[in-house]
Amino acid sequence: MQGQGGLCPPDRRMPLNRPAFSLNNLSGRWKIKKIRKHDKKQNKQQSSKGKGKKNSVEKSDKKFVFLDRDGVINRDSPDYIKSWEEFEFLPNSLKAIKHLTENGFTIIIITNQSVINRGMISEEKLDHIHLRMREACRAHGGNIRDIFFCPHTPAEGCECRKPRPGLIFRAGEKYNIDIRDTVMIGDSARDIECARNAGCGQAILVRTGNIIEARRLLAEKNIQPDYIAGDLFDAALQIVGHE
C-alpha cells in the first residue's frame, strides 16, 4: 500500500532535496516509498466506499498512536544516530511498544531525520536501522506499523519537518485516520507543537529527552502537553488506562 499526493511543494524545497518517505515492511521485504507517488488502487477503494454517501469519508476504527523516535524509543545523541551500533533502546521502550500493541493500538513513527540531507548517512542506512528496530520490537511482542520520516534540514523549510504537521497528515491520509482520535508522544517541544498543529486528540511529553528545554520552549509559545510522562512506558500506561 502506497501513499498518494505530496507534502513539500517544489517551491518550498531547496534543489536536490528529497521528499518525505514512509517505510513499510511488506511481504518480509522493506520498500522505501516516496510519498508523492499516487496510489490508484487506494483511491479506487476509497471511491467505492464513498458511493451513495455525500461528503462522507469512512474513517478507520483502529486506535492510533504516533511516536517520535529519538529520545522516546531510543537514546538521542547530539551527533545523530548514524548506524544500528549507535542505536540504543531506552529502558522500558520495548515493553511500552508491546503494551500498546497488546491493547490494540496501531503504532506509527513520526520522526525528523535530517541526518540524511546533512549527508551523514544514506536512505538505505536509515532503512537498515529501522529494519533492525522493528525486528527487535516484534521479538519483544510489539509492532510498529509504519515509519514516516522527514530527511530535510531546518533551513529547507519543508512542510513535513516537525513541528509542521505534514508527516501526521500523510499518515492520516494513508491509513484513513481521524487525527482527533490519536495520541502523539514526544520528548521535545516540536513534537507537542506538531501534535497541536495536526489536531491530535492528546499530546504527551516524556522526560527522556531534554525536558527542561522542552517545557521552556512550550511555555514561550503558550503550548502545554496533556500529560508529562516519565518515559514511554509511563505514557503507554496513561493511554491504555484512559480508554
* 3-state helix vs strand vs coil in the chain, percent to 5: 35, 20, 45
User: Could you give the angle at the alpha carbon of 60 between the alpha carbons of 224 and 99, nearest 5°?
Assistant: 60
CA distances from 46 to 34, 39, 173, 178, 229 (A): 20, 11, 11, 15, 37
Residues with a catalytic annotation lie at 68, 70
Using CA atoms, how far apart are residues 175 and 105, in angstroms rounded to an integer? 13
Burial of residue 11, with CB atoms counted within 10 A of its CB: 0-12 exposed, 13-18 middle, 19 or more buried: exposed
Dihedral of the alpha carbons of 192, 198, 201, 203, in degrees to the nearest 10: -10
Contact 8, 158 (CB under 8 A): yes
Residue with cell 510489539: 142
Among left, alpha and beta (phi > 0; psi -120 to 50; other), residue 88 is beta
Contact 216, 191 (CB under 8 A): no
